[in-house]
Structure 1
Amino acid sequence: MLVRIVKMEFEKEHIEDFQALFSAVQNKIVNFEGCQSVELYHDIYTENRFFTYSHWDNTAALEKYRSSSFFKETWARTKVLFSNKPEAWSVQQSKLLS
């Protein structure tokens, strides 16, 4: 499993717009094949900074989602609200050596 973390900063006047958009699409993302969950986090120190954490079966599932028309349409609606360039990471749990 991998976790996709996306950091986004929005123009302050668009924070509610983004939250409404995320609320409208969250279940559609979770129901996408290979997605286990998606959550939205709000930075407690920076009003306009948000993070999404999504859990995917594997890289192929994430890439299939990212190439979908649903993602492209949603991302187009989201990115016009940004105040800064978003950042994203794909991570997996580290296996510690014993």
Structure 2
Amino acid sequence: MKIIQATFYIKEEKRAQFLTEVTALIAATRSEEGCLSYNLYESVEAKNQFVMIENWENQAAIERHNQSPLLKQLFANMADYAAKPTALSFSEPVKQ
């Protein structure tokens, strides 16, 4: 399994647009082959700070997802939505 965490810092005036766009992306992504989970959370301490937690079967599933028109659209719009750059991290669960 592969895990991606993306932290978005959204401008207040772009919040509604971001949420509309990302909600459509979430719905579409959850039906993609290899998507185990895809969830967006908002910080209770920092309004308009959102964290997307993605769980994927493998790297091939991530690469297919990266070709999604909805994801490409979100990436194209992030410069307009973002108050500061998105923070990304990638990991794999520890096997015990």
TM-score range for the pair, normalised by the shorter chain length: 0.7 to 0.9
| 1:90 maps onto 2:85 in alignment | no
Alignment partners' CA distance in 2, 1:78 and 1:85: 9
What are the ranges of 5 or more consecutive residues in structure 2 without an aligned counterpart? none
| TM-score, normalised via structure 1 length | 0.85
Q: What residue is the counterpart of 1:29 in the other structure? A: 29
What are the ranges of 5 or more consecutive residues in structure 1 without an aligned counterpart? none
Give the root-mean-square deviation of aligned CA atoms. 1.6
Runs of 4+ in 1 over 6 A off after TM superposition: none
Structure with larger Rg = 1
| TM-score, normalised via structure 2 length | 0.86
Which residue type is aligned with residue 59 of structure 1?
Q
Q: Deviations over 1:51-88 (max 9, x none)?
A: 00111011121122113444212321344200101011
C-alpha contact 2:6 2:51 (8 A) present in aligned 1: yes
Partner SS state of residue 88, structure 2: strand
